[in-house]
Amino acid sequence: MSGKGSILRAYRYATGLLEPAAAGLLLWRQRKGKEDPQRLAERRGWASIRRPNKPVVWLHGASVGETVTLLPLIARLQKRGFAVLVTSGTVTSAKLLAARLPAGVVHQYVPLDVPRYMRRFLDHWQPELCLICESEIWPNLLIEAKRREIPVVMVNGRMSERSFLRWYKLPKTSRFLLSCFEACLAQSHGDAERLAQLGAPRVSVAGNLKFDVPAPPADPDMLAILDGMTTGRPVWIAASTHPGEDELVLSAHLALKPHLPKLLTIIVPRHPQRGPEIEALALANDVAVSRRAAGGQPERDIEFYVADTVNELGLFYRLSQVAFLGGSLVEGIGGHNPIEPAKLGSALLHGPHVHNNAEIFAAFDRDGGSREVADARALAEAVHRWLSDPASARQAARAAAQTAHRLGGAINRTLHTIEPLLMRVALGQRDLS
């Protein structure tokens, strides 16, 4: 293990030695609702389905945002005849992918980064190529793939300033791990510069794949029903909210009520299991609330609607004139993807904490499609401004849609760059029956 540095050797040793603790961690996460009990073995590298008898391209994204980002690549790779394996690490992402993956694409939970788990996973799936989304740099995954000569490419690569500073303190470790990537296709020039400075040998800028992801779908029958329920009402959505933001959204709603008596506020928690606590918060403030997971609908007497379900954001974005993107009014999250509501006709609002999507929000802000708000009062004022002036809201929504369209094209640049690897995979097709 020379050249990897003492820290990496210690990590390898510790993750192997603490394998029993990893199994305990999975059981603890299962009790907390963070693991699927029916598929827990997948997190230990045991496959739940046979390997397809053709070349396998493995794509990995950590959670909802990353896996949705991979959808255009998944579709294009499947169209070319590759078997596609997608992994992610969260229950929410698995539920979303179950609804949005093309037929024939396999999803598995990614194993914990324990040497034996990774070896077990790779021994079964034997992928000919691995595409890792954004900034998932797991030492055992990369080392085991390198030992098997599996090319690994970072797609939609991201290296925030905060992550860069952490990795910069570990120069030998970062240089070795990034050298395991055949190529790093960065979202932006800033990401590319930081990756190269950390030691990634082959870095290029492909752009952000999120701009090429199709708008999230909506069931047309349900859309017609809910559109009928909300016609004539000013509607806005607070999407992907986190603890600490729910209170701010409710405060903004209460401030808006005297000015917009028919107002409907839709709140979609990032983690649907928090729906009951948000409902309780609204009830404690004498707000008429219903919760979708409990069968509630946004009836005329409902003013606060908790949409605590999975894979329905496309439905609620289509009902809303204004969308606030959560994870941005509380520190530590970094702001969630604004591209989906931009493609579906919403004017956009966000808080100041958007470091995970800083360049995207900056582009929307510059073009007039989004505005930054600092707190609940500013949120209420911005929502009121747009809901009371629909023409201005439509203008902002058009600007957001135009920005999203202008910044697309990363899918073609990504496929062009990895084409030699795809050709190598196709030419190396083998019979594994």
What would the DSSP string read from start to end of 191-241? Answer: HHHHHHHTT-SSEEE---GGGGSPPPP--HHHHHHHHHHHTTS-EEEEEEE
HSE-up of 271 (CA within 13 Å, CB side)?
A: 13
What pLDDT score does 7 carry?
A: 86
Q: Within the chain, which residues score under 50 in pLDDT?
A: 1-3, 430-433
HSE-up of 96 (CA within 13 Å, CB side)?
A: 30
- Name the nearest CA neighbour of 406 among 356, 341, 360: 360
User: What span, in angstroms and rounded, lies between the C-alpha atoms of 433 and 264?
Assistant: 57
User: What span, in angstroms and rounded, lies between the C-alpha atoms of 181 and 22?
Assistant: 26
What pLDDT score does 432 carry?
A: 37
User: What span, in angstroms and rounded, lies between the C-alpha atoms of 63 and 240?
Assistant: 13
Six-digit token pair at 26? 């999975």
What pLDDT score does 162 carry?
A: 87
Q: Which residues contact 16 (CB under 8 A, 6 or more apart)?
A: 114, 115, 116
pLDDT digits (tens, 9 = 90+) for 198-231: 999 899 999 999 999 999 999 999 999 999 999 9
Give the chain's radius of gyration (CA, Å): 23
Q: How big is the CA angle at 69 (ends 67 and 71), to the nearest 5 degrees?
A: 80
User: What span, in angstroms and rounded, lies between the C-alpha atoms of 403 and 407?
Assistant: 6
- Is 193 catalytic? The answer is no
What pLDDT score does 216 carry?
A: 93
Please say whether the beta carbons of 362 and 338 come within 8 A: no
* Length of the chain, in residues: 433
286-303 exposure pattern, b = at least 16 Cβ within 10 A, e = fewer:
ebebbbbeeebebeeebb
Q: Kindly name the residue from 66, 144, 245, 279 that is annotated as catalytic.
A: 66
What pLDDT score does 50 carry?
A: 96
The residue assigned the tokens 């960065």 is 186
Six-digit token pair at 344? 């579906």
User: What span, in angstroms and rounded, lies between the C-alpha atoms of 23 and 318?
Assistant: 42
User: What span, in angstroms and rounded, lies between the C-alpha atoms of 286 and 283?
Assistant: 5
What pLDDT score does 3 carry?
A: 44
User: What span, in angstroms and rounded, lies between the C-alpha atoms of 213 and 154?
Assistant: 18
Give the burial class of 232: count Cβ atoms within 10 A of its Cβ; 0-12 exposed, 13-18 middle, 19 or more buried: exposed
Q: Which residues contact 6 (CB under 8 A, 6 or more apart)?
A: none
- Name the nearest CA neighbour of 240 among 98, 321, 318, 337: 337
Strands 235-241 and 183-186: unpaired
What pLDDT score does 5 carry?
A: 63
The residue assigned the tokens 């120069």 is 171
Strands 235-241 and 370-372: unpaired
